């Protein structure tokens, strides 16, 4: 049984961005490090696999980042999306640390590139990783190997022995065989519980079974649950998750970026009764797409359909699944499984209420409806030019908000030698809403702190 016992100074649970930043920092501070990743090597990295940038504070142009993005503006952006659900001290610390962290990332093999096509709105605020999040992870794993971090894949932690508020050891199922790990400090960087549909069902009821999970199937919240059950103080709304509307044909897990659909504001969205249910043109899509997960989740069967005509086809980022297509509304209704008469009626009503205007998908234009409920405030053009196109929409969960409370040393409140980084503690600073590239900022900054602090404790 000797091979089933791991001993080292620090154990890191989770092999995503936060876990790797912690492992690298702990190893560089002189600690021997064990990293337990629940996924197999090919799917390592949690949801960081699907990321592509980090929101980064900078006072002047920095690398590929244009202009400046000062602390105060960054902080105000965060306040706006969270509605104040943030620990202001921790939030400001994360924001300030993103700048030096970008240099640290480069030292550990990460390469940056200019903002990608179709994402120019982020060129000033977000530093893009060359090749995306998986390339970043590959660099970190390479750096970790050089620093003799012991990485164990297929290792799902199932038990943590915590006595009198001190972590002593844990059990991980490694390829299905139990193994004990005994370390002097622990970094929990194991993500949230968004891939655990049973857990989500507690808040969402049976509807949760129809949710799609945009990221890794390995974020089942096991470590989060263990920590909360063993005395860690919780933070964040336990019922809430961040969900966007994605193509309904996406895989159940791990569909990532390509399943997004940007056509919603350009057409109308109907539920399975062919009824509209929300103002599709309320605001620019990047500011609105995060509410559409919830909107679709509230529809019967947790499904909706975005319908456009040939006038707007091709005016949005190409999507991965081809649209359903028909020369007639009735044909499209048949293809989408919608009641044809009702869909014809909904579209006719909508078309009648559209006022003339100057269509511009890039700005809040003056194309809107009158006397329609719900209204369409922008980009309202009649749907009258065949062929007609339809895309099914489903809620796609990105992350959950519930986490463990930490202090500025990344120490988990309630357990002395446990530190946390990444999504498992993101609720401290992002209690609500979403800010592009902020998850990677939290993971990187807190990962580095957690690794350093965990190593400090063992020397």
Residues near another protein (CB under 8 A): 42-43, 49-50, 52, 111, 113-114, 116-118, 128, 130-135, 138, 142, 251, 254, 256-258, 260, 314, 317-320
Of 95 and 105, the one with the shorter C-beta distance to another protein is 105
Is the torsion defined by CA of 409, 415, 416, 419 positive or negative? negative
Structure tokens at 211: 């949710």
Of 113 and 298, the one with the shorter C-beta distance to another protein is 113
DSSP codes of every residue in 236-255: S-TT-EEEEEEETTS-SS--
Of 201 and 319, the one with the shorter C-beta distance to another protein is 319
Q: How far is the CB of 447 from another protein (least distance, A)?
A: 20
Q: How far is the CB of 261 from another protein (least distance, A)?
A: 10
**Do 405 and 235 touch, CB atoms closer than 8 A?**
yes
Q: How far is the CB of 311 from another protein (least distance, A)?
A: 16
Q: How far is the CB of 277 from another protein (least distance, A)?
A: 26
Of 117 and 205, the one with the shorter C-beta distance to another protein is 117
278-300: b or e for each residue (b if 16 or more CB lie within 10 Å)?
bbbbbebbeebbbbbbebbbebe
Q: Is 315 exposed, middle or buried (0-12, 13-18, 19+ CB in 10 A)?
A: middle
Of 121 and 239, the one with the shorter C-beta distance to another protein is 121
Closest CA to 137 of 18, 10, 259, 256: 18
How far is the CA of 70 from the CAs of 57, 99, 328, 426, 448, in angstroms? 6, 10, 52, 22, 22
Distance in angstroms (rounded) separating the CA atoms of residues 138 and 135: 5
Distance in angstroms (rounded) separating the CA atoms of residues 392 and 411: 44
Q: How far is the CB of 38 from another protein (least distance, A)?
A: 16
Distance in angstroms (rounded) separating the CA atoms of residues 15 and 169: 19
Of 136 and 435, the one with the shorter C-beta distance to another protein is 136
Of 135 and 207, the one with the shorter C-beta distance to another protein is 135
Residue whose tokens read 């922008």: 378
Q: How far is the CB of 146 from another protein (least distance, A)?
A: 11
Q: How far is the CB of 317 from another protein (least distance, A)?
A: 7
**Do 312 and 352 touch, CB atoms closer than 8 A?**
no
């Amino acid at each position: 049984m000797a091979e089933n016992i791991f001993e080292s100074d620090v154990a890191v649970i989770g092999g995503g961005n936060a876990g790797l930043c912690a492992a690298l920092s702990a190893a560089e501070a002189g600690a021997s490090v064990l990293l337990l990743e629940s996924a197999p090597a090919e799917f390592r990295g949690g949801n960081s696999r699907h990321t592509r940038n980090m929101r980064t504070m900078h006072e002047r142009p920095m690398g590929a980042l244009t202009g400046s993005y000062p602390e105060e503006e960054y902080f105000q952006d965060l306040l706006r999306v969270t509605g104040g659900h943030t620990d202001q001290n921790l939030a400001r610390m994360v924001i300030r640390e993103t700048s030096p962290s970008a240099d640290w990332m480069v030292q550990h093999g990460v390469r940056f590139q200019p903002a990608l096509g179709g994402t120019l709105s982020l060129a000033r605020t977000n530093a893009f990783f060359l090749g995306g999040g998986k390339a970043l992870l590959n660099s970190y794993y390479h750096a970790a190997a050089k620093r003799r971090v012991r990485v164990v894949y297929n290792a799902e932690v199932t038990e943590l022995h915590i006595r009198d508020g001190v972590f002593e050891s844990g059990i991980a199922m490694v390829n299905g065989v139990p193994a004990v790990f005994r370390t002097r400090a622990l970094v929990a960087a194991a993500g949230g519980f968004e891939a655990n549909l049973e857990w989500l069902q507690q808040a969402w009821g049976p509807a949760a079974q129809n949710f799609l999970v945009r990221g890794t199937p390995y974020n089942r919240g096991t470590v989060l649950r263990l920590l909360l059950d063993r005395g860690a103080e919780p933070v964040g709304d336990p019922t809430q998750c961040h969900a966007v509307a994605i193509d309904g044909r996406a895989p159940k897990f791990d569909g990532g970026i390509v399943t997004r659909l940007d056509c919603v504001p350009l057409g109308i969205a109907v539920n399975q009764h062919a009824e509209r249910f929300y103002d599709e043109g309320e605001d620019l899509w990047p500011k609105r797409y995060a509410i559409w997960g919830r909107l679709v989740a509230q529809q019967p069967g947790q499904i909706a359909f975005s319908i456009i005509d040939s006038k707007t086809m091709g005016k949005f980022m190409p999507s991965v699944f081809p649209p359903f297509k028909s020369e007639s509304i009735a044909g499209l209704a048949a293809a989408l499984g919608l009641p044809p008469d009702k869909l014809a009626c909904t579209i006719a009503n909508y078309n009648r209420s559209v006022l003339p205007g100057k269509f511009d998908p890039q700005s809040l234009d003056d194309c809107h409806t009158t006397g329609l409920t719900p209204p369409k405030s922008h980009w309202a053009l009649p749907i009258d030019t065949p062929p007609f196109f339809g895309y099914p929409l489903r809620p796609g969960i990105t992350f959950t908000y519930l986490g463990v409370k930490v202090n500025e040393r990344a120490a988990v409140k309630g357990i002395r030698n446990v530190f946390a980084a990444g999504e498992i503690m993101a609720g401290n600073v992002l209690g609500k809403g979403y800010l592009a590239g902020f998850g990677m900022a939290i993971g990187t900054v807190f990962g580095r702190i957690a690794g350093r602090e965990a190593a400090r404790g063992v020397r």
